């Protein structure tokens, strides 16, 4: 694949995500592409099926508020210290979302099953939790290797259309460095293709240095990359540091009302100037 095909603008990055796509997205601490999230809202995508791997936060909150989401499959949607997510809370109250509530290791297990090309993964725990009663896909099996009664939950493979996240580096070949955030590698292996925003596109090849190579997601899995320095803003980024506390507090204020949220979108999403 030639260079120009892989390294693209933010709008080109999200162009492939069409209405109804199933999107795997990381937890707020693992590198969220907020730049791509805003581009998706500007594009006006609809009916997304988000898979929080294993949880999600501001990214899903904004997409839900902007009317882009049909299904939220996750173990939680949390804004951490900032408190209850206002748009998510409203959406649940009004029954606007299809909720597929899971538990963190089950999301990991479903993605792992997809990575391995197998139909399901068995998982301990969960029995007696009401999430098992409500989940549309999980079933309880008898452990076939145990003669005694031993129920175990079967988690079907989760095969998203895209994994979408923010990472520190890519090279021009399309390799992406994620360090020890291996859940990003799992997400990508499990998904049909992967879209990444990065802080920096480096010269040379990430495999040239064995110390870096251990944390590389190979270009084989990566469809498109867009350079967006600070692309996780306003969330913190594990590689570069803290989030924009003042902005997040402002979000919580504005998102309390429909009007305030609409103004937030106008000011910080629709009017955002993006690098060409």
- Best CA proximity match to 234, nearest among 38, 11, 14: 38
Cβ 120 to another protein, closest distance in Å?
A: 16
Judged by CB, which is closer to another protein: 10, or 237? 237
Judged by CB, which is closer to another protein: 101, or 137? 101
Cβ 211 to another protein, closest distance in Å?
A: 13
- Alpha-carbon span 79 to 85, nearest angstrom: 6
- Alpha-carbon span 232 to 235, nearest angstrom: 5
Judged by CB, which is closer to another protein: 54, or 160? 54
Cβ 103 to another protein, closest distance in Å?
A: 4
- Alpha-carbon span 59 to 180, nearest angstrom: 22
Detail the DSSP E strand segments found in 27-77. Answer: 48-53, 69-74
H or E segment and range at residue 62: helix 58-65
- Alpha-carbon span 116 to 105, nearest angstrom: 16
Judged by CB, which is closer to another protein: 245, or 263? 245
Cβ 134 to another protein, closest distance in Å?
A: 7
Q: Hey, is 194 helix, strand or coil? A: strand
The half-sphere exposure of 219 on its side-chain side, counting CA atoms within 13 A, is 16
Judged by CB, which is closer to another protein: 201, or 238? 238
Cβ 61 to another protein, closest distance in Å?
A: 11
**Site for another protein, rule CB under 8 A:** 27, 29-30, 53-55, 74-78, 80-81, 84-85, 88-89, 92-93, 95, 99, 101-106, 108-109, 112, 123-132, 134, 148-152, 180-186, 238, 242, 245
């Amino acid at each position: 694949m030639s260079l120009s095909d892989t390294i693209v603008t933010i709008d080109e990055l999200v162009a492939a995500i069409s209405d109804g796509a199933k999107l795997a997205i990381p937890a707020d601490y693992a590198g969220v592409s907020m730049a791509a999230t805003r581009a998706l809202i500007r594009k006006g995508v609809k009916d997304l099926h988000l898979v929080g791997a294993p949880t999600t936060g501001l990214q899903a909150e904004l997409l839900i508020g902007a009317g882009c989401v049909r299904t939220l499959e996750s173990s939680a949607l949390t804004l951490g210290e900032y408190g209850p997510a206002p748009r998510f809370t409203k959406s649940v109250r009004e029954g606007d979302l299809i909720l597929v509530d899971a538990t963190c290791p089950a999301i990991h297990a479903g993605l792992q099953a997809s990575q391995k090309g197998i139909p399901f993964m068995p998982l301990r725990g969960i029995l007696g939790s009401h999430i098992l009663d409500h989940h549309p896909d999980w079933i309880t099996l008898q452990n076939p290797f145990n003669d005694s009664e031993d129920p175990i939950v079967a988690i079907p493979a989760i095969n998203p259309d895209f994994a979408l996240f923010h990472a520190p580096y890519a090279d021009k070949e399309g390799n992406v460095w994620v360090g020890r955030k291996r859940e990003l590698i799992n997400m990508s292996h499990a998904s049909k293709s992967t879209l990444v925003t990065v802080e920096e596109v480096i010269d040379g090849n990430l495999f040239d240095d064995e110390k870096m190579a251990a944390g590389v997601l190979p270009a084989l899995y990566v469809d498109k990359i867009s350079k967006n320095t600070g692309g996780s803003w306003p969330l913190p980024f594990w590689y570069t540091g803290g989030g924009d506390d003042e902005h997040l507090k402002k979000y919580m204020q504005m998102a309390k009302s429909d009007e305030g949220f609409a103004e937030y979108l106008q000011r910080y999403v629709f009017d955002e100037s993006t690098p060409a």
